[in-house]
Structure 1
Amino acid sequence: MLADNEINRVLVVTAHPDDADFGAAGTVALFVDRGVEVTYLLVTDGDAGGNERTLDNTGMAELRRTEQTAAAKAVGVTDIRFLGHADGSVVPSLALRKDIARVIRQVRPDLVITHHPERNYQFIAPSHPDHRAVGGSTLDAVYPDARNPYAFPELVKEENLEAWTVREVWLMGGSTPNHWTDITEAIDRKLTALQSHVSQVAHVEGFADFVKSRFAAWAEQAGFGEGHYAEAFQTVTTA
């Protein structure tokens, strides 16, 4: 794994608003505390989600972008980018790989955090089809697309985006994590970020307790001890 001092820029690639906050907001907050530059890239605007039925898709997309901006601010992220793909119908494609590879070459991250591309049969929620499509496409964009100057050559010729090698990927939501981040000191900021997604979580009774219990369970599995909270990832070395 990369040492802390080798991680200076991080790109978090997710399918929907709130995905980064459920999976990695505590870790992101700790990165920002250390001076790491973090960028969020959202493939969709989340216009097919939520419990606010008075809004059409356009209105929901605008609301969810606003909520994600507030959530990102809670953990110190200000660089947020949206690709605008249709929520609920994301599929692996060359077009999606190119969109993600473009941002990788723009941001030039040491580490990418994204969804696990495989279905989690132990806990189904992270296995939304959009999540799996984005996770797989992001891994393909990391290897081989972003590092290969002959992949999408127009990115070099027309946009002056030279090839870039991401050294490591952390996958969220899988059933076989091998790395845990102790987010105890950032759990309140993670909760604030999650509660910024009012259209998604305001109706959930006992939401804060649910979040704390879930991430306390990860901390126990990681061996961090009672009173701690953790986020879990599967790490992939790509360099």
Structure 2
Amino acid sequence: MTATAQTAEEHGAAPRLAAMPEDWSRALAVVAHPDDLEYGVASAVAEWTASGKEVTYVLATRGEAGIDTLEPAEAARVREAEQRASAAVVGVTEVEFLGHRDGVLEEGPALRRDIAAAIRRHRPELVVTLNHYDTWGDAPGSPWNTPDHRALGRAVLDAVGDAGNRWIFTDQLELDGVLPWPGVRWVAVAAAPTVTHAAAVGEEAARKGLASLLEHRAYIEALTDEDPEAYARSIVHGGLDQYAQRNGGRRAVAFELHPR
């Protein structure tokens, strides 16, 4: 334990978060649904792309089960378009959809196979995903996480290892012509109950993160009667402010970082 962390704990405060690594050039963000990244991570993505880093989005589903008032095929069309527009706001030009069914993602070889293939294609040094734990937060009675998030996040952590092993999913190497990729150095889990690292976010990146979430207007309007801008602002700015005290007073997106 560092002296800073020890002092913080002695005073009843959470220790300061370590800075996210910056010595990388390519990241792959893998989540379950359109909008998953925009509830916080997008502001960090805006910082990364502004500094010249390359970020690609991979979504397991098209979010077709996410809007009660729209049939799945129409919801998928709307939400895919919203996700592509949202990604563009923060400098992401490549967005892939794996085509798994929304709401019934299954942790297992099929999902791992598709994620490993994406890792092998894009060859990232950093992989980003979302909370795979049972709950949002670690306090008793914290809100229950969804099955898709739990299955997807765990599959991502496993698929990173699969992608580097030439004896797993060998058909990809033979038919698709991709090579094993053992070059992932970290997996960063956003919105985990216990976080370890922070990506500082400036004013412009925060503005882009907010605008990115607002591109999901059809989803937000189906989700809440609150004014979309007020809703999005409370989510994005509230999340960035949450970890400022543990990041030297600077707004931040926080992650649980797993070195590989």
Q: Deviations over 1:23-66 (max 9, x none)?
A: 31011111101111110000000011135x1x210000000000
Is the aligned partner of 1:191 residue 2:210? Answer: yes
Determine helix, strand or coil for the equivalent of 1:85. coil
- Match of residue 210 from structure 1: 234
1:174 corresponds, among 166, 174, 192, to: 192
Residue pair 2:64, 2:76 contacting (<8 A) in 1 also: yes
Determine helix, strand or coil for the equivalent of 2:156. helix
Q: Deviations over 1:12-32 (max 9, x none)?
A: 000000111113101111110
- Match of residue 105 from structure 1: 120
Letter in 2 for 1:68: Q
Letter in 1 for 2:90: V
- Match of residue 251 from structure 2: 229
Residue pair 1:2, 1:168 contacting (<8 A) in 2 also: no
Is the aligned partner of 1:61 residue 2:76? Answer: yes
* TM-score, normalisation: structure 1: 0.91
2-side partners of 1:8 and 1:133: how far apart?
A: 27
2-side partners of 1:153 and 1:107: how far apart?
A: 17
1-side partners of 2:226 and 2:62: how far apart?
A: 21
Alignment size in residue pairs: 231
1:230, distance to aligned residue in structure 2 (A): 1.6
Letter in 2 for 1:136: R
Q: Deviations over 1:101-137 (max 9, x none)?
A: 0010000000000023212353756822101111000
- Match of residue 163 from structure 1: 180
Is the aligned partner of 1:89 residue 2:104? Answer: yes
Residue pair 1:120, 1:173 contacting (<8 A) in 2 also: no
- Match of residue 28 from structure 1: 45
Larger Rg belongs to:
2
Q: What's the RMSD between the two structures over aligned residues?
A: 1.8
2-side partners of 1:120 and 1:160: how far apart?
A: 39
Provide closer, same or farther for how the CA distance between residues 126 and 170 of structure 1 changes in structure 2, counting only shifts above 3 A: farther
1:214, distance to aligned residue in structure 2 (A): 3.0
1:173, distance to aligned residue in structure 2 (A): 1.7
Provide closer, same or farther for how the CA distance between residues 105 and 194 of structure 1 changes in structure 2, counting only shifts above 3 A: same
Letter in 1 for 2:109: L
1:168, distance to aligned residue in structure 2 (A): 0.6
Q: Deviations over 1:147-206 (max 9, x none)?
A: 000001111111111110111100012111001112133111000000000122234333
What runs of 5+ residues in structure 2 fail to find an aligned partner?
Answer: 1-18
Determine helix, strand or coil for the equivalent of 1:120. coil
